[in-house]
Structure 1
Amino acid sequence: MTSKMVVTQPGPIMVHQESSEWGSGICDCCHDIPMCCFAFWCFPCFTCIKARDYGECLCLPLVDFFLRGCVPAITMSMRASMRQRYGIRGTMFDDCVCATFCQPCVWCQMAREMNEREIPIVLVNTFRKTYT
């Protein structure tokens, strides 16, 4: 009698959140107080780091600071891009209003959303086998 042993290796675990709404409100600063304090005390640094984390050019948000106008175009376009990437409902008008009147809150909301939706893949029970 021949027996066959089958060994199944654990695979990567990935959590995917699907929702058509923002994970937190625009003024939900209490969800991550250290992040909101960082945004409050050093807003240009915070925006540059978050733009880089999102996959954009590190210095892109500085355009909003140097070209002061009515609407911060980079903040608005980043918010619209994030809505598109994550399938969040909303309009360009909402993005425009939020970016114009609540720019730091918008960046904090986008940072919270990135933290919630981009969960890294975790490998379980992996080891390195050495041969002697």
Structure 2
Amino acid sequence: MREDFKVIMAVVNQPGKYEPSEFQTGMLDCCDDIGICCFGYFCFCCLGCSIASDMGECCLCGLGMPIRSVYRTKYNIKGSMCNDYMVTMCCPLCTTCQLKRDINRRKEQGIF
């Protein structure tokens, strides 16, 4: 066998699987956590700042499509940027509360 001949093997499968997941609560499950629902209803901007703080972002970044997309990508949650835009434009309070509930649940599970 020649010394300068090397066998190169391609990696066909990555170790382990990281399946796409879903948000842990539905967008309209506001009654799952009344405290977050009231927090968002009475002080929507404060809820956004709380989310941004949890994610290590500027307080102004806590509301809307960008933070939702970043979160979804980080935790491999199914969806698209277009979907994030549409749901945050149609029901910003519900989607923001959903995001905060999901953050809190991941913190309780030790995976945030």
Q: Shorter-chain TM-score: what band?
A: 0.7 to 0.9
The unaligned stretches of length 5 or more in structure 1 are 1-17, 62-73, 122-132
Task: Find the counterpart in structure 2 of residue 44 from structure 1.
Answer: 45
Q: For 1:110-129, list aligned pairs within 5 A.
A: 110-119=99-108
Percent of aligned positions with the same letter in both sequences?
A: 39
- Higher helix share goes to which structure? 2
Q: CA deviation at 1:58?
A: 2.1
Structure with the bigger RCO (C-alpha within 8 Å, sep 6+) is 1
Which letter does structure 2 place at the counterpart of 1:79? R
Which runs of 4 or more aligned residues in structure 1 lie more than 6 Å from their structure 2 counterparts after TM superposition?
none
User: Number of paired residues?
Assistant: 92
Structure with the greater alpha carbon radius of gyration:
1
Distance 1:99 1:59 in 2: 15
The unaligned stretches of length 5 or more in structure 2 are 1-18
Q: CA deviation at 1:120?
A: 7.2
Q: For 1:101-116, list aligned pairs within 5 A.
A: 101-116=90-105
**TM-score, normalization: structure 2?**
0.74
**TM-score, normalization: structure 1?**
0.63
Distance 1:120 1:90 in 2: 22
Task: Find the counterpart in structure 2 of residue 83 from structure 1.
Answer: 72
RMSD, matched Cα:
1.8
